[in-house]
Each structure stands twice: as C-alpha cells, then as structure tokens.
Amino acid sequence: AQRVTQPEKLLSVFKGAPVELKCNYSYSGSPELFWYVQYSRQRLQLLLRHISRESIKGFTADLNKGETSFHLKKPFAQEEDSAMYYCALRRADKLIFGTGTRLQVFP
Amino acid sequence: DGGITQSPKYLFRKEGQNVTLSCEQNLNHDAMYWYRQDPGQGLRLIYYSQIVNDFQKGDIAEGYSVSREKKESFPLTVTSAQKNPTAFYLCATTRPGGADGELFFGEGSRLTVL
C-alpha cells in the first residue's frame, strides 16, 4: 500500500542550526513527492516538489529511491521557518499526506 | 485574497445532527477535494471530485456525503453516522489538468461536536 511516513512529530532547533525533516514513502511505481507547509494562521501551501529540483526559502529535498526517502533540508534554520511541514505522495489523481512534523526554531 | 472560501470557520453541533460545510472557489479549477486534519494523523482524504456531477470516495468517506452540482461548489455534509466528527476540515482544488499535482487549500472549517 502507498504510504508516507514522517517519524518525527516535533523537531526543535536553534536559529542557524541545520534542519532535516524526514520523510519516507512506500510506492510501487515512480513516485511524485511534495513538501507542504502550514505557517501559523496561514493556509497549507506547497513548498516544493521533487520534479522541480528547486530550492525554496533555502529548503531542498532530494528523492532517494534506494532509501525511499524525500527528506527536507535547510543548512541554516531561521525563526520564520517555524511551521508544520507535511510530506505528500501523489497517487493517481490524489495526494497522500504524512502525519506532519512541527518545526520549532528558537532564537 | 479569495480563491477558495470555506464557511463557516467554526461550527458547533450536537450529537445526532447533520451539518454541511461549504467550499466555494473562483479559480476555475476542475478538481476539488475534502481532507480532514487531526493532530498526529495528518491529512486524510474524505471525498474528491474531478468534474461536475461526479465524485469519488477517499480513504475515510464513511459518515460523510458530498455533491458537485456546480464547478465552483463542493459542499461536505457530516452526517450523524460519522463516529468522530470533531476535526478541522480542509477543502482544496487543483488546476485544470492537474498535471503538476499542486493543491490549493482553503482556510478550513473547525467542527466541534458537543
């Protein structure tokens, strides 16, 4: 069955520290993966997609098919990165979401 | 900023009552989705609709019903059969074609059953 696993409910770091939010998936085909972010009092929104191989707000995510992972990374966390992050896997015409990781960045 | 409007933002319901959550969009998007968001469980798909007058069950459709009579509207009814209806409900859409997979979300509706 297709599944997305985010093992950490909460990740706390200090400003300037590196951040890695973990995401593992199970999917039999060629996966399409996404990271969504929800800042306080804002709508859930797309952060980045693996197909684009882009860096958004300093975040990057590399698809590792061998490890079935799509971890989100940022070398130097900022306070404004504090938010809820969801990893998502595309299944046909739907998205399957993980349980989310709350990132707290302390000053 | 318009786009996707969900109403009401907060709703209280007594047990045994049905309640309907509204989702309206002016983005001319074809596909619309309803997700339920619970702490520690992420987002789970309830129902979705690719075109008018057609919709499919998601992973947790039991106790819910939808309709898609207009492209702009996709209301969700939480029936008394839903065993644990207290949750945050999110409506989303995708662009025509939806090839890039990006979902656009509303602000959500929080339902509390008393």
Token pair listed for B61: 């459709």
Q: Give me the residues of B, 60-89, that contact A with CB < 8 A.
A: none
**pLDDT reading at B1 higher than 60:** no
**Does A32 contact B at CB distance below 8 Å?**
yes
pLDDT, residue A29, reads: 81
Contacts of B50 in chain A (CB under 8 A): 93
pLDDT, residue B80, reads: 87
Pairing type for strands B10-13 and B109-113 reads: parallel
**pLDDT reading at B100 higher than 80:** no
Interface size A-B, in CB pairs within 8 Å, comes to 45
Pairing type for strands A33-38 and A45-49 reads: antiparallel
Three-state SS at A81: helix
Measure the CA–CA gap between B93 and B106, rounded to whole angstroms. 9
| pLDDT per residue as tens digits for the range B38-52 | 988 899 999 999 999
| pLDDT per residue as tens digits for the range A93-104 | 889 999 999 999
Token pair listed for A82: 């504090």
Token pair listed for A13: 């770091």
Contact between B41 and A99 using a beta-carbon 8 Å cutoff = yes
Q: What is the DSSP letter of B109?
A: E
**Which among B46, B105, B107 is the top mutation candidate for probing chain A, defined by the most A β-carbons within 10 Å of its own β-carbon?**
B105
| pLDDT per residue as tens digits for the range A42-95 | 999 999 998 777 888 999 998 999 999 999 999 999 999 999 999 999 988 889
